[in-house]
Amino acid sequence: MIETSPLKSPSNTSKGRALTLTTLSLIAVAEPFLAGVILPTLPMLQAELDVTPSLFAGALIASTLAAVVSTPLAGRMADIHGPRRTLLTLIAAVIVGGYLAAFAVSFPVFLIGQVLVGCGFALIPVIFVVLRSSFERRQMTIAAGVVISMITAGEGLGLLLAGPVALSLSRAAMFAIPTTALVLAAVLLLVGRIGTGSDSGAAVGKVPWLGASLLGFGLLAFFAGLNLGPEYGWLATGTLGLLTAGIVLLIVWFLAERRSKNPLVEVGLLRERGVWAPMIVSSVEGATVSATSFLILQRIALPTETGYGLGADVGQTGLFLICGSAAGVISAPLAGRVAAKVGTALVATIGCILLAAGSIWLALFTDATQVIAGLVVVSIGSATAASSVYAATALAVPSNEVGIATALVALARSLGLAVGTQVGAAALADPELPQSAFTLGLFLAAGLSAAGFVASFAFPRDRGVVTEAFPN
């Protein structure tokens, strides 16, 4: 292997790398903060916009679908046109969406804003393209941990601060604060010339719009089916039609990619251990976290008279969540440092073990302090696994494939989140909500982690080579 170093640019000096990580961390905090404020304030938003809960659910689904469709396209555009231009384009779209959501006086305008905000999920793979070009291998795993830590912090801030900000200030302020943080990030990107070196190393080619369209519409139909299934029934004609159409389009996309001279995703890339193994762990992590969160939030809100509920109101629920969020924020950068020394495979394995252990603990114990302890363990496992999957993929593939490869990992987590929620909902099918239903659901969540545990052993062995050059 010919030893190379990241391209010379302002972001490859020590001060430049510090500014790069600071700016990317600001993006990583602000985007999930902005995307997360909608859930805790649903009743208020529905009242202000004068819409029914079922109609307002369209905003949530639209945002999710926008994220699913835009992520692989943005990842590939970052590989072809460079991450700097892609970052600025995405941030501009999210800024417009954030301010539309802040000041909308009608639901259609708010819906457009949420679609644009949903595109912000595509920032994740683009961020890792910049990290890959700006940091050496050892620094890359640490930087990945920091970014995952900031994403976790942003998600927690959105859940915890949305209500207080909206009540003490206004709905506009609730959306405008994280949106303005993204404006600041855009200014830093421009002034600091962040990512200029990675743009000059971009691949030559055109965006494969046919492949992007087939994949986008396939994912759109499939995820729409997953979202509509719980409400309209899994055997309903519309649900089955969407799921079937999605699967058919994804099969057609795969076959077309195999024959294309300009594919969106190199089929060979999907056979790389550094891609498919992190995708499995990422999907498992998402499924375990969403199933566990769904079940625990339902259980702690039940009356104490049940013997296993805690009677928590909306404000008290936030106290349960903040401990887990704080643990994730702290553990993600530590996991990155550990990965730099022992490799991402071992860190992924530890993450899956912690996810399973936390889920089992929550299944067995129901006191408030015990629930908090279990949520902390699950959050540490989630942050640890997430840090390892993105770093492993970004380290394993050629520089001109980092965007699309990490986009696939992000998509795998989105699929896991959707599946995990359905696992939790299926466990609570009994309207009486007996304790056995929660116990079964949490043991199922732990079982999901087993697949990630097995897949972690297939990770590329990057221990001892973290200081070598990246593959070209």
- What tens digit of pLDDT does each residue of 104-138 get? 988 899 989 999 998 998 898 889 888 887 887 77
- Rg (the chain; Cα; Å): 21
Over residues 391-404, mean pLDDT: 83
Equal CATH topology for 1-206 and 272-472:
yes
**Distant-in-sequence contacts of 11-19, Cβ < 8 A, 24+ apart:** 11/130, 11/133, 11/134, 11/192, 11/193, 11/194, 11/195, 11/196, 11/197, 11/198, 12/134, 12/197, 16/134, 16/192, 16/194, 17/134, 17/135, 17/139, 19/188, 19/192, 19/194
Q: How confident is the model at residue 198 (pLDDT cuts 50, 70, 90)?
A: low
Q: Which residue has the tokens 């941990």?
A: 145
d(CA 294, CA 146): 26
The pLDDT, as a whole number, for residue 339 is: 85
The pLDDT, as a whole number, for residue 463 is: 53
The pLDDT, as a whole number, for residue 117 is: 93
Neighbours of 164 (CB within 10 A): 13
d(CA 207, CA 257): 13
Residue 437, φ and ψ in degrees, nearest 5: -65, -45
The pLDDT, as a whole number, for residue 266 is: 73
The pLDDT, as a whole number, for residue 443 is: 93
How much of the chain, in percent, has pLDDT values that exceed 70?
89
CA distances from 172 to 48, 56, 103, 177, 187 (A): 11, 18, 6, 9, 22
**For residue 53, is pLDDT > 80?**
no
The tokens for 397 are 């593939």
Tens-place pLDDT, residues 171-181: 899 999 999 99
End-to-end CA distance of the chain: give it in Å, rounded.
Answer: 9
DSSP secondary structure letter of residue 135: S
**For residue 320, is pLDDT > 80?**
no
The tokens for 339 are 């990965």
Is the distance from CB of 233 to CB of 48 less than 8 angstroms?
no
Q: How confident is the model at residue 23 (pLDDT cuts 50, 70, 90)?
A: very high
Q: How confident is the model at residue 91 (pLDDT cuts 50, 70, 90)?
A: very high
∠ CA 28-30-33 to the nearest 5 degrees?
105
**For residue 9, is pLDDT > 60?**
no
**For residue 11, is pLDDT > 60?**
no
Q: Has domain 1-206 been given CATH number 3.40.50.1820?
A: no
Over residues 264-269, mean pLDDT: 75
Q: How confident is the model at residue 213 (pLDDT cuts 50, 70, 90)?
A: confident
Task: Write the single-letter amino acid at 323.
Answer: C
Q: Which residue has the tokens 């969160």?
A: 293
- Residue 10 or 299, more confident: 299
Which run of H or E residues covers position 21?
A: helix 14-36
3-state secondary structure 268-306: HHHCCHHHHHHHHHHHHHHHHHHHHHHHHHHHHCCCHHH
Q: How confident is the model at residue 2 (pLDDT cuts 50, 70, 90)?
A: very low
Rounded to the nearest 10 degrees, how much is the dihedral formed by the CA atoms of 91, 97, 101, 106? Answer: 170
Q: How confident is the model at residue 349 (pLDDT cuts 50, 70, 90)?
A: very high
d(CA 442, CA 296): 9
Closest by CA to 423, choosing from 398, 454, 444, 447, is 444
Residues in the chain: 472
0.85 exceeded by pTM: no
Q: Please state which of the ranges 223-227, 315-319, 362-366 shows the lowest mean pLDDT.
A: 315-319
d(CA 394, CA 181): 26
For the domain made up of 272-472, give the CATH fold: Growth Hormone; Chain: A; (1.20.1250)
Name the average pLDDT for the chain.
Answer: 83
The pLDDT, as a whole number, for residue 251 is: 92
- Alpha helices, DSSP H only, in 50-106? 53-81, 83-103
- Alpha helices, DSSP H only, in 104-136? 107-118, 123-134
Closest by CA to 90, choosing from 218, 206, 185, is 185
**Domain residue spans of the chain:** 1-206, 209-263, 272-472
Q: Please state which of the ranges 37-51, 186-200, 389-403 shows the lowest mean pLDDT.
A: 186-200
**For residue 262, is pLDDT > 90?**
no
